Structure 1
Amino acid sequence: MTSVRVERLYKVFGPQSAEQVRRLERGADQEDIRAAGATAAVVDASFTVSAGETFVVMGLSGSGKSTLIRMLNGLLTPTSGQVFVDDEDITAMSGKALRAMRQNTMSMVFQHFALFPHRTVLDNAGYALQIRGASKSEIAEKAAEALSLVGLEGWEERYPQQLSGGMRQRVGLARALAAHTDVLLMDEAFSALDPLIKREMQDQLLNLQAKLGKTIIFITHDLNEAMKLGDRIAMMRAGRIVQIGTAEQILNEPADAYVAKFVQDVDRSRVLTAAAIADPRPTATAGSSPDEALALMRRQGADRLFVADGDQRLLGELTAAAAEQARRDGRGDIGSVLTTIADPVSADTPMKNLFSRMSTRAVPVPVVDEQQRLLGVVTPAALFEALSREAQISAADAEPAEIKEASDV
């Protein structure tokens, strides 16, 4: 698998671009650069995308995100800075080497499909392989396989004009998948779709990523889309990356008033997960004595606690009543009086899914990872606190003039 690393990347359009970069490095702002007749589209961008990660670049129109993604595969030449695909610096590649890199390592999915109207769906899906010089049989096999992955099996001989917008976008995605590149660049790939089709494509991408584990860099201006798809999100403003973090980090710890303004209307219950709000409180073990378990409950101010083994795998739940009875019965440990928990919640359970659970039984809910290790518990109080928590930085300080939309660069 392939990683992508960006180091101090700048793109300035206009006269004396290299000099404008030096001015930016010395502290000049966007107004200073515009006064010189230039436009600073990307300013000092640095980040690393790990192999297999979905990294979303989020920003309003004019924030520089489209310029940024076009420098990642050499469609635009940076004014300054470097882009590494694994350890290869693509900013130092020849034109021939760049074309080979695009064919073999990094594919791109465009917003407006970019399909050939005179080619069949199968031919469109196999186009990158044709450019690479693959045999007809290999093109047909891999293109058909990719179309099947995106749900278009049986549509191979149709033409783009016979497909819906969502289906055409699936063909564009299949074309990228058929090339078998490790890295997918997706520039506003779903922005032109109707809301329902857009959600279907987002779900399709999540399912494909779970199977294929590509390194994906996804550009969007839709915050809900960014938070649904991204393992991490980079927030851009006026050419600069102002924050990088998980959806939960950006919601709970916005870097500045601009980011706080952006996230203030997000439905937190759909973004935050059980793991994000779980309290990693101490647990008892099956070998704990009733007295030890009761003392732990008193320290926690609780009438029950969860019990785990030495590897922190969840064994069950112990109530204060059961512990008191075990003590009266003279039991040496609590292992035989535990209540089995049939349905602990997984770490990635959306917070919204916990409301119905707690409405029927308002007690702490255990949160476990894939190995059934106990990560913590979610209490009713923690659930409602997370839902109602406001951003720590007031969005009122954001400057409206810098939040308005403009033509993207």
Structure 2
Amino acid sequence: MTTGQDSSAAAGHQGAALHVEGLWKIFGPRADKIIGTPDANLSRQELQAKTGHVVGIRDVSFDVAPGEVFVVMGLSGSGKSTLVRLLTRLIEPTAGTVQLYGEDITGMGDGGLQEIRRRKVSMVFQHFGLLPHRKVIDNVGFGLEVRGEAKRERRNRAQEMVDLVGLSGYENNFPDQLSGGMQQRVGLARALAGDPEVLMFDEPFSALDPLIRRDMQNEVIRLHQEVGKTMVFITHDLSEALKLGDRILIMRDGEIVQIGTPDEVVGAPADDYVKDFTSEVPKSHVLTLKWVMRTDTSQLSETCRSVQQNQIVRDAAKTVLDAPCCCRVLDGDKTVGVIDDEDILRVVVAEESH
């Protein structure tokens, strides 16, 4: 588990899709004069009271691996939306670096930055940002049109993306003829049309009804499995973060509280803030067997069934409960622990009595 700054960012970032190091955003006229002074160590409230400046992001560092779904979550005011805008310089950082596949975005001129936004990074926003006077097919192909691609090629590509997100038959509809969920699918298709290296989502489903939101979460999972894009996903919803994220970065007051996989965040919260966040989470839906197994393997026999330590407790429950005795827990081919009915039921009963 990693808490505070991401150790992978400190250890080296060769091969990272996105490398963020020492990133600051302070709002105010003399923001750049604060970093490196004792005032930089003040809390957000103390700094504002003393200087009138507001810290949006404080010394944030992390890496995102190619093909990873990296979720940034926190409550309102935690800095998560400021962070995602810094990654493409929709707002300018006060200090720090952002690299996309080794290219320094923070040091780019306007031309290079425009090229990054047109070809390498796409964003999906909470408010869909569709052009109301354009049909679905033209909204999806708009970025390709801006690039100057020929009409036939961009319409063919747009149609492929329309089909990919499940909107076949709605190509000639206008946005106001679609439901909220369908409009967000248009936004997804538009983001994918340019074949970007990284997709960034800024709370894209928070305005949708719960059932539609769940469908769209499933759609993101399906699309990720099909196209394998690197994704940075911003949300305030823990269940959404746990469902979508390969890793989760939790923020508070512009700072990183914890970075970890879903089972690490739930199984070993970094502090009481994260512990409170995760207290209502059904542990059996998130924790893997490594969090509930026992390491004393003396009771194992050759006839014991085997399960892998990275299996979710809920998914492994039937195998363990049906076993005539305990089960061997493996990490690959290596035996690392033992688990039985009581270990499984202890997690489930704790959930029900919460």
Normalising by the smaller structure, the TM-score range is: 0.7 to 0.9
**DSSP 3-state at the match of 2:250:** strand
Counterpart of 2:143 in structure 1 is: 128
Counterpart of 1:8 in structure 2 is: 22
**Is 2:30 the partner of 1:32?**
no
Task: Map residues 213-232 of structure 1 onto 2, 5 A cutoff.
Answer: 213-232=228-247
Aligned residues: 336
Give yes or no for contact 1:14–1:39 (8 Å, CA) kept in 2.
yes
Give yes or no for contact 1:15–1:37 (8 Å, CA) kept in 2.
no
Q: Which has the larger radius of gyration?
A: 1
TM-score (normalised: structure 1): 0.76
**Is 2:61 the partner of 1:100?**
no
1:74 is matched by which residue type in structure 2? R
Residue range with higher mean Cα deviation, 355-364 or 167-176: 355-364
Deviation for aligned residue 1:352: 2.3
Counterpart of 1:236 in structure 2 is: 251
Counterpart of 1:22 in structure 2 is: 36
- Any gaps of 5 or more consecutive residues in structure 2? 1-14
Query: Residues 203-222 of structure 1, C-alpha deviation per residue, up to 9 Å, x if partnerless?
Result: 11111111211110000000
> Compared with structure 1, are the counterparts of its residues 230 and 238 closer, same or farther at alpha carbon in structure 2 (3 Å cutoff)?
same
Query: Residues 89-146 of structure 1, C-alpha deviation per residue, up to 9 Å, x if partnerless?
Result: 1111111211110111110001111111111111111111111111111111111111
Q: 1:360, 1:49 → 2: CA distance?
A: 39
**DSSP 3-state at the match of 1:33:** helix
Residue range with higher mean Cα deviation, 207-216 or 40-49: 207-216
Task: Map residues 42-191 of structure 1 onto 2, 5 A cutoff.
Answer: 42-191=57-206
Q: 1:138, 1:373 → 2: CA distance?
A: 52
Report the RMSD for the aligned CA atoms in angstroms: 2.5
Give yes or no for contact 1:2–1:183 (8 Å, CA) kept in 2.
no
Counterpart of 1:404 in structure 2 is: none
TM-score (normalised: structure 2): 0.87
Task: Map residues 295-374 of structure 1 onto 2, 5 A cutoff.
Answer: 300-302=298-300, 304-305=301-302, 318=303, 349-361=311-323, 363-365=325-327
Residue range with higher mean Cα deviation, 30-39 or 50-59: 30-39
Q: 1:72, 1:366 → 2: CA distance?
A: 45
Could you tell me the percent identity over the aligned residues? Answer: 44
Give yes or no for contact 1:20–1:33 (8 Å, CA) kept in 2.
no
Give yes or no for contact 2:321–2:340 (8 Å, CA) kept in 1.
no
Q: 1:25, 1:375 → 2: CA distance?
A: 48
2:167 is matched by which residue type in structure 1? L
Give yes or no for contact 2:16–2:63 (8 Å, CA) kept in 1.
no
**DSSP 3-state at the match of 2:41:** coil
**Is 2:344 the partner of 1:383?**
yes
2:214 is matched by which residue type in structure 1? R
> Compared with structure 1, are the counterparts of its residues 32 and 384 closer, same or farther at alpha carbon in structure 2 (3 Å cutoff)?
same
2:105 is matched by which residue type in structure 1? I
Query: Residues 245-288 of structure 1, C-alpha deviation per residue, up to 9 Å, x if partnerless?
Result: 11111111111111111111111121123465456777xxxxxx
Q: 2:134, 2:328 → 1: CA distance?
A: 54
Q: 2:330, 2:231 → 1: CA distance?
A: 28
Q: 1:81, 1:261 → 2: CA distance?
A: 31
Deviation for aligned residue 1:350: 3.5
Q: 2:130, 2:256 → 1: CA distance?
A: 32
Q: 1:24, 1:217 → 2: CA distance?
A: 33
Give yes or no for contact 1:362–1:380 (8 Å, CA) kept in 2.
no
Q: 2:218, 2:329 → 1: CA distance?
A: 24
**DSSP 3-state at the match of 2:204:** coil
**Is 2:218 the partner of 1:203?**
yes
Residue range with higher mean Cα deviation, 18-27 or 253-262: 18-27
1:65 is matched by which residue type in structure 2? K
Deviation for aligned residue 1:16: 1.0
Deviation for aligned residue 1:27: 2.0
Query: Residues 137-164 of structure 1, C-alpha deviation per residue, up to 9 Å, x if partnerless?
Result: 1111111111111111111111111111
2:238 is matched by which residue type in structure 1? L
1:62 is matched by which residue type in structure 2? G
